[in-house]
Structure 1
Amino acid sequence: MAEIYYLLTWGTFWLMLLCFVFLLTVSVPRRDDLRSYKRVRLLLAWGVFFLMTLVNLTELSMSDSRTNDDIWYTRLMTLWIGACVAPVFSIVNITLINSHFFSWRSLVRDLVIPLVLVAGNVFLFEIFSAKSLAFLFAYVVFIVYYVFVVVAYTVIFLRNYRQYSIRLNNYFSEPGSNLLKWTVTTQFLATSSGIMAFVSLFMPHGWLCVFALFLNILYPYYAIRFINYAFQFPVIAPVVEEVMEEEPVVRDSVLMLEDIVGEWEKDKRYLQPELNIEMVAHELSTNRTYLSSYINTCKNKNFKEWISDLRIAEAQRLLLSEPKTPINEIGERVGFSDKGNFSTRFSKSVGMSPSLWRKTHLK
């Protein structure tokens, strides 16, 4: 088991080095609105590489026959690295869906606290012993802080992702524009690695083989996804960059918007594929924030639901008036660029598939 672990440790080191070089050398589009992305790219490359390299070198420097002191130092190192990697990964992940989230002050705070805790634990361990009440108390405090950081950042990510999803549905008419679902996967993978690190504190040393193997999968996967994000960014930039604030909709403005929105619906301009709220606001000569507020308040829907319901109603009309027209063609004509999306939205709205609905209503 020891040989396998050392092999994995060396493998992890070289893989981390490869990802580090990959993150820093691959060119990304030159855009001013990618400033936050470029900051967290440096953080992801240097921060994670430094921390994981420190772990690997420490592990490789220890002898096969580990003393009790070695085991305690490994536990403290695991807590320290985990308490640093959790905020680094989470801050990077959250910044991808909310570019206003990143803050150097918060990052420094989240890295200094575990450094102080590990230094205090090492000091007490050297002065007293692993069985002293002072050290055990400090160790428990460190564990509690570690658990708090992992849970807190998972909750913060989920809250930000929920807000991102709301902004997304208030901007795009097609769910295919959601290119950041992978951030949820990586966040939970990172949380899982944090849980595994915590469990390793109470397990035999061989358990770290599983942890090392897990990191060998997580970090390269995340690095590749992270680089691809820069090329997907132009599509989702309005959602990631701008945190929309609802504007109050006054009575006179409601009446005015009702008229122009009614005309827009009557002209069936919602049949345009891949609509977004910016395009509709431009056609209606208003701003996207105000239009979004109107749709949310007066239609009691988000933008995606509003457009989808209009298209479904038109699809129902065509399904009955043109019984020989293929389902796929009708889906395309009413603005759905994807066959699966049309069937899914239709079934969710009506309660049955387009073909079954047509068959039922043509009897």
Structure 2
Amino acid sequence: MTHPIYSYSLCIALPLMLFLGFYFLFASTPEKAIFVNYLRSRRIMGGALLLLAANYAVHFFFEIRFRDVHAAILMNLSTYFLCYWLFSSALTTLLDRFYITRRRFRVHVCQWLLFTALSGVVLLALPEGRVQKVGLLLMGVWLVAYGFVLARRLILAYRRAVRLFDDTHSDDIGAYIRWLSVFTYWAVIFGVGCGLLTFLPDEYIYLWILSSVPFYIYLYYSYMNYLLFYEQVEQAFEQEMPSEEETPEAIVEGGVELPACYAGIEGKLSVWIKEGGYLTPGLTLKELSDLLKTNRTYLSTYIKTTYRVSFREWIAGLRMEYAKRMLIQHPELTVAGIAEKSGFQSASHFIRLFKEREDCSPARWRKKHL
């Protein structure tokens, strides 16, 4: 029994998987200590890709799908379960360098061995019929649930990182890791799809193979592109706000009890805003707290409480109002020039934010108001 389109799809996917796996394992990175975690993540991902490539190779060279369908399904289920863990570990460690521990490693390896053993019992020991189908259904549910748990953990880590960046940096550092969120949701769809396609009739399996090509090309592109921004993101992580447990002395202002650390912040911020301090490119909460000679944890809390936005959104709002004034008062300046003077990361970032807030481009807004 042969299916040419199935074999052709494997011919397309297998070389791609081998290339990506070996590249992720052995390609060099900048010789800086800060890239150690990135290299660890990429090597874990490379191992996962080579594991999938080995799965593809067994299907292609030994045609196990047509010789023993139960053995093929067992191999697929076991491979997917282990790859779910490797994929999630590779991505999560980019957001949390201490994520991979010996205990966590042992727990997931034991879960994989148990899942593989039970799948083997269901597929190879139980007689074909209703009992085996129920067993397969349970193993499929276990696999999907496991994937969702890992994906949820990664998404939560991503959201924590974005909140951290928004609370401590004026630049949109979270934009550099957005691909992690996009890839995770795509991986959930792809992973669940692969699990379902494993049980489909043989003539539809090529869909599973071909769908992996754009998926892994996007992964490769994302990792390579992230290399350009990784140092900046990792430095932002290293500047994470410390957790401070001390309780400040309280003072009373206007009959309301406030922490003593809030005393004078409003006045200092007013002076700082009038002087245009928010126009400094790459401004961080730590830099502002040092300038105002106050605690950055309390400064962050004050900004959130008073303005109901994160530090990044607050600075972006100040810069946006300044940019609007510049658009009207200096028609001779270009939009790119105004974006630079206003402290934005780039002209494209400024234009995107402007469109989100005003529903039109800066040039069109200027034309209306002039």
Give the drift of 1:306: 1.3
CA contact (8 A) 2:18 2:50 kept: yes
Match 1:202 to one of 199, 202, 208: 199
1:129–1:290 distance in 2 versus 1, CA, 3 Å: same
Superposed CA offset, 1:179-215 (max 9, x none): 1222223223322221221221332213221222222
Taking the aligned partners of 2:184 and 2:73, their CA distance within structure 1 comes to 23
Aligned partner of 1:251 in structure 2 is 259
1:113–1:136 distance in 2 versus 1, CA, 3 Å: farther
CA contact (8 A) 2:303 2:310 kept: yes
Give the drift of 1:221: 3.6
* Secondary structure of 2:263 counterpart: helix
Aligned partner of 1:118 in structure 2 is 116
CA contact (8 A) 1:170 1:277 kept: yes
Give the drift of 1:148: 0.2
Which structure 1 residue ranges, 5 or more long, are not aligned?
Answer: none
Task: Determine if the alignment matches structure 1 residue 297 to structure 2 residue 297.
Answer: no
Taking the aligned partners of 2:123 and 2:54, their CA distance within structure 1 comes to 24
Taking the aligned partners of 2:235 and 2:299, their CA distance within structure 1 comes to 15
TM-score, with structure 1 as normaliser: 0.84
> Number of residue pairs matched?
358
Task: Determine if the alignment matches structure 1 residue 187 to structure 2 residue 184.
Answer: yes
Aligned partner of 1:237 in structure 2 is 234
Match 2:169 to one of 167, 172, 182: 172
Taking the aligned partners of 1:330 and 1:63, their CA distance within structure 2 comes to 63
The letter of the residue matching 2:207 is V
The residue correspondences of 1:60-71 to structure 2 (distance < 5 A) are 60-62=61-63, 66=66, 70-71=68-69
* Secondary structure of 2:100 counterpart: coil
Task: Determine if the alignment matches structure 1 residue 7 to structure 2 residue 8.
Answer: yes
CA contact (8 A) 1:29 1:231 kept: no
* Secondary structure of 2:168 counterpart: coil
* Secondary structure of 1:178 counterpart: helix
Please say which of residues 281-290 and 264-273 is displaced more in the overlay.
281-290
Aligned partner of 2:154 in structure 1 is 157
TM-score, with structure 2 as normaliser: 0.82
1:266–1:356 distance in 2 versus 1, CA, 3 Å: same
CA RMSD of aligned residues (A): 3.1
Taking the aligned partners of 1:141 and 1:304, their CA distance within structure 2 comes to 46
Which structure 2 residue ranges, 5 or more long, are not aligned?
Answer: 249-257
Taking the aligned partners of 1:51 and 1:319, their CA distance within structure 2 comes to 54
The letter of the residue matching 1:307 is I
Give the drift of 1:235: 0.9
1:177–1:155 distance in 2 versus 1, CA, 3 Å: closer
1:286–1:102 distance in 2 versus 1, CA, 3 Å: farther
Aligned partner of 1:283 in structure 2 is 291
* Secondary structure of 1:99 counterpart: coil
Give the drift of 1:102: 2.9
Taking the aligned partners of 2:20 and 2:309, their CA distance within structure 1 comes to 43
